[in-house]
Structure 1
Amino acid sequence: MQFDTPHLIRYGITALVIGLILALRIRRMSKARPLTLERLWIIPTLYALLVASLFVQAQPSLGGWALCAVALAVGAGLGWQRGKLMQLSVDPVTHQLNQKASIGGLLFIVALIAIKFIGQAEGSALHLDVMLLTQAFGAMALGLFSAMRVEMYLRGKRLLARARAAL
């Protein structure tokens, strides 16, 4: 059995960095953070620009566009579910909306990143179009981030309306 040491080192360092970031993020997740509904559009907009730049760099074929459209739809469905995992609450006194992330949602994102990383690393060896794979994962992530924030926005608006109506 022969090992490819540079790849093993790269995978090990990547796993270590992701593990460290994950540990720090899980520690912060136990605290509720303020949620401003008016700012939920910012991340999806920035990510849409990033994904658009991927499509400007290399135009996919018709089949590639179809794959990216399916990835966007799958990402939107997964994002909606991830948005539901976010715990939203309203402070009864100040009516401040707060969010608390779920560990399940974070682990889901880490799994997607790992799949993308492995796919890109092994894509050329498997004769996959790495750029198309990157575009499809970008479209999926765009759907995920956008739908997650739409779900949080709608639920947050309902929670705030109920809290204000209870006055």
Structure 2
Amino acid sequence: MTQQQLVPLIAIAAVIPFVLLRNRKPRTLRPEFLWVVPLIVVAAISFGFWAMSMSSRSAPPTDPVSLLILAVGLALGAAFGWQRGKMTTIHKTPDGVLKAQASPIGLFIIIGVMVGRRALEPWLEAHAADWHINPLAILEAFMLFAAGMVVTQRIEMFIRARNIQHGGTDAHVEAER
């Protein structure tokens, strides 16, 4: 691996323990602000798409196979995001404050996607021509996976948080008991 590929992996490895320690305790959940992170992620990924299209060595992925790859990346991200949102435990304290505790499995999914993207990038670029696939489509599919995961996770959490706020229960937690 080159230094350019290794630096992000080292940064991820350094941050993981802090994120896991931070997620050990439930944190206050404010459903009215759950839209902020998806907005930032979608804006950042949109900017990334634009930047890649401006400086890319290959054409933007607009052929049918590339669009299918992008759609699959987004759909898989949405499915994993919904599941990740369901794995987040949400409860209401006696004083009416919502608390959420994320599952560490969700973090490992995100890390796996990031590491996979970095590890596969050189190989995909070298072999994409053999498969007649735009290498940019595969890399953008990873970004759409991340965007889909974040957006649908927050939607799922918002739906459950609103239900709990209005006197309902966290149905999936009740089913496990």
Q: Do they superpose with TM above 0.5?
A: yes
**RMSD (Å), alpha carbons:** 2.1
Paired position in structure 2 for 1:75:
77
Report the 3-state secondary structure (helix = DSSP H, G, I; strand = E; otherwise coil) of the residue aligned with 2:126.
coil
Question: Percent of counterpart pairs with the same letter?
Answer: 24
Provide structure 1 residue ranges, at least 5 long, that are not aligned to the other structure: 1-6
Indicate whether 1:131 and 2:136 are aligned.
yes
For residues 8 and 86 of structure 1, the distance between their equivalents in structure 2, rounded to whole angstroms, comes to 36
Report the 3-state secondary structure (helix = DSSP H, G, I; strand = E; otherwise coil) of the residue aligned with 1:124.
helix
Q: How does 1:107-118 map to 2 (within 5 A)?
A: 107-118=108-119
For residues 2 and 34 of structure 2, the distance between their equivalents in structure 1, rounded to whole angstroms, comes to 39
Tell me how far 1:127 sits from its aligned partner: 3.2
Report the 3-state secondary structure (helix = DSSP H, G, I; strand = E; otherwise coil) of the residue aligned with 2:100.
strand
Q: Deviations over 1:29-83 (max 9, x none)?
A: 1121111111111121222223333444235322211221121111111100000
Pick closer, same or farther for the CA change 1:53–1:9 going to 2, 3 Å: closer
TM-score, length-normalised on structure 1?
Answer: 0.82
Q: 2:40 aligns with which of 46, 49, 63?
A: 46
For residues 147 and 18 of structure 2, the distance between their equivalents in structure 1, rounded to whole angstroms, comes to 24
Indicate whether 1:19 and 2:13 are aligned.
yes
Indicate whether 1:141 and 2:146 are aligned.
yes
Paired position in structure 1 for 2:26:
32
Paired position in structure 2 for 1:4:
none
For residues 46 and 135 of structure 2, the distance between their equivalents in structure 1, rounded to whole angstroms, comes to 17
Query: How many residues are paired up?
Result: 156
For residues 24 and 79 of structure 1, the distance between their equivalents in structure 2, rounded to whole angstroms, comes to 22
Stretches of 4+ aligned residues off by more than 4 angstroms:
8-14
Question: Contact between 2:81 and 2:149, CA under 8 Å: does it hold in 1?
Answer: yes
Paired position in structure 2 for 1:3:
none
